[in-house]
Amino acid sequence: KKRMKLKILDVSKGKKRMKLEIPAVLAAQLRGQTYQLGGLLTEMRQPKQLEYRSLHDFMNAPGPLWEVDESKMAPAATSFSDEFLKVMGTPAANLAYGRSGLLHLGFRALDEYATRHAGLLPAFADAAAAAELFEIAKAINASADSGAVVQQLDDRRAVLMQLADGARATLSPMCAIFGGIVGQEVVKAATGKFYPIHQAFYLDELECLPAEAPPASERSAAAVEAAGRYGSQGGGFGTSLVA
């Protein structure tokens, strides 16, 4: 077989490049002609160069972030207020008003909290620890560059409080999602068929939590320890759920 370039009509609407292999005996008579139909086509993936910043630079100024669920954006965004309309459609929108930007700030605050507490994350149902985490987040946000400031932080305080409240939990469904994403990225690296996640990806399912927090007695250190391997579920949803 001999490879030759032929013009492809209506195969990909001009959006993709294709490779067509034909028998060498037909190469001479088909040269210069336009391909119409038949044969086996193979898509030719085009290389794309991606640039990644260091983790240190990204944590301080994340830049553009993917927004997984736009329904979770800040009140200014969901109501299309004037302040949001100024940045709508730009990379700054997701960072300033999106859930991704808020979670990025929250995880930075968790890192700082752990540094201050010998590596420990906030305990379940620890209101004081959650309040401390929020104050850390406010301080980080206040010192951030103008392009990395999360807007309406006080209005979205509940999200960071929930992040602190369940910081010690290891839930199997979330682990499964994480493992699936990591596995997909490995396949991407091995095959080169799809582009990897760029820089970072934030996902939360806080809507799975009870509308009202379970009693503190069900989420105490003793109750969580008594729940054994189901301690994380008990800490997040109450030990009565796993009893």
Which pLDDT score is estimated for 182?
A: 94
Total residues belonging to the chain: 243
Residue 15, domain member (yes or no): yes
Residue 53, domain member (yes or no): no
Residue 54, domain member (yes or no): no
For residue 20, give its domain range. 2-44
Answer yes or no: do 68 and 145 share one domain: yes
Residue 205, domain member (yes or no): yes
Residue 143, domain member (yes or no): yes
Which residues fall within 8 angstroms of residue 112, CB to CB, at 6 or more apart?
A: 136, 140
Residue 64, domain member (yes or no): yes
Residue 51, domain member (yes or no): no
Answer yes or no: do 182 and 224 share one domain: yes
Taking the C-alpha atoms of residue 4 and residue 29, their distance in angstroms, rounded to an integer, is: 12
- Show which of 111, 145, 165 is a domain's final residue: 165
Answer yes or no: do 71 and 91 share one domain: yes
- The answer to whether 159 and 74 have CB atoms below 8 angstroms apart is no
Answer yes or no: do 19 and 34 share one domain: yes
- Show which of 165, 191, 220 is a domain's final residue: 165
Answer yes or no: do 99 and 131 share one domain: yes
Answer yes or no: do 99 and 144 share one domain: yes
- Concatenating the DSSP letter of every residue in the chain gives -EE---EE-SSSTTSSEEEEEE-HHHHHHHTTPEE-S-S-EEEEPPP-------HHHHHH---S---S-GGGS-HHHHTT-HHHHTTTTSHHHHHHHSHHHHHHHHHHHHHHHHHHTTTPPPPTT-HHHHHHHHHHHHHHHHTS-GGGPPSSTGGGHHHHHHHHHTTT---HHHHHHHHHHHHHHHHHHHH--SPPP-S------GGGS-SSPPPGGGSSHHHHHHTGGGHHHHHHH-GGGT-
Answer yes or no: do 80 and 110 share one domain: yes
Answer yes or no: do 66 and 154 share one domain: yes
Does pTM top 0.85 for this prediction?
no
- Show which of 165, 197, 214 is a domain's final residue: 165
Answer yes or no: do 72 and 156 share one domain: yes
- Segment 160-197, tens digit of pLDDT: 999 999 999 999 999 999 999 999 999 999 988 788 99
Task: Report residues of the chain scoring pLDDT below 50.
Answer: 1-2, 4, 10
Answer yes or no: do 178 and 149 share one domain: no
Answer yes or no: do 63 and 101 share one domain: yes
Answer yes or no: do 139 and 193 share one domain: no
Residue 49, domain member (yes or no): no
Q: What's the structural domain count of the chain? A: 3
Q: What is the DSSP letter of 125?
A: T
